[in-house]
Amino acid sequence: MLYLISTPIGNLADFSHRAVSVIHACEYLLSEDTRRTRILLNHYDLKTPLKSYHLLNEKKRIQGIIDDLISGKILGLVSDAGTPGIADPGKFLVQACLEHQIEMRAIPGANAALSALILSGFTTERFQFIGFLPKKKKKRKELFSECLDYPGTTICYESPFRIGKALADFSEIDNQKKIFIARELTKKFETHYRGTVKELAAFFDTKPPRGEMVLVF
């Protein structure tokens, strides 16, 4: 059995009782960032061993993991933070489990995209999540144009190092579009920015704050 276990996106208290008991029962945990996961496990006094599982070793590791699962071991997958598989490694392992008819269970919990969506005030009836914005300006602008045709809310992730450029590109397409940016969700310096793309582009151009961010429009 493979458990896909969500972990906190900042505040360590955002971790379910079920996640703690499942991790306790796991033979080992596959973790994207073992140092970060160790801090979480220590906080909950969990001694489960950790094995690294990230984008660079994902494909190489899969056979060994599948062998362990076929032999009946109970394993858990956690990402760096939040829900594994959402802009995080996990997809290949899930596909491999499906191919080998290995049972999986999701342990729900924190996710930055959905937290930002519900804070945005934009419609939650229909929404799309597009992961990280492309790094290249041309691709980014094409994607923004595509999203403007989408009849619902769009959620995406962006690095603090590119947010200013991304908003500048967006304002070249539609500078009056309303946008919400959630920064450092669940953490001490959580901040919410609301305005038009033009207003936030100007703000992020002059005072670009660092930290993890989600864009919703």
Considering only the stretches 41-49, 64-72, 80-88, 195-203, report the one whose residues sit in contact with ligand SAM under the rule CB under 6 A. Answer: 80-88
Answer for which of 22, 30, 48, 82 binds ligand SAM (CB under 6 A) is 82
Answer for which of 65, 81, 179, 201 binds ligand SAM (CB under 6 A) is 81
Answer for which of 29, 93, 96, 182 binds ligand SAM (CB under 6 A) is 182
**Contact (Cβ atoms closer than 8 angstroms) between residue 189 and residue 211:** yes
Residue 157 is a binding residue for ligand SAM (CB under 6 A): yes
Smallest separation (angstroms) from ligand SAM to the CB of 8: 9
Residue 58 is a binding residue for ligand SAM (CB under 6 A): no
Smallest separation (angstroms) from ligand SAM to the CB of 98: 20
CA-wise closest residue to 85 among 23, 3, 162, 1: 3
Considering the complex, state which of residue 41 and residue 213 has its C-beta at the smaller distance from ligand SAM. 213
**Other residues' Cβ atoms within 10 Å of the Cβ of residue 96:** 18
Q: Which CA distances in Å does 124 have to 23, 39, 197?
A: 32, 34, 20
Considering only the stretches 65-73, 140-148, 179-187, 195-203, report the one whose residues sit in contact with ligand SAM under the rule CB under 6 A. Answer: 179-187
Considering only the stretches 20-28, 48-56, 77-85, 145-153, report the one whose residues sit in contact with ligand SAM under the rule CB under 6 A. Answer: 77-85
Residue 201 is a binding residue for ligand SAM (CB under 6 A): no
Q: Facing residues of 182 across strands?
A: 192, 214
**87-96 long-range contacts, CB within 8 A, separation 24+:** 87/131, 87/132, 87/157, 88/32, 89/32, 89/53, 89/54, 89/55, 89/58, 90/4, 92/58, 92/59, 92/62, 93/2, 93/30, 93/53, 93/58, 93/62, 93/65, 94/4, 96/62, 96/65, 96/66
Query: What number of chain residues touch ligand SAM (CB under 6 A)?
Result: 23
Give the separation between CA 180 and CA 4, rounded to whole angstroms.
29
Residue 14 is a binding residue for ligand SAM (CB under 6 A): no
Residue 78 is a binding residue for ligand SAM (CB under 6 A): no
Sites of contact with ligand SAM (CB under 6 A):
9-10, 79-83, 86-88, 111-113, 157, 159, 182, 184-187, 212-214
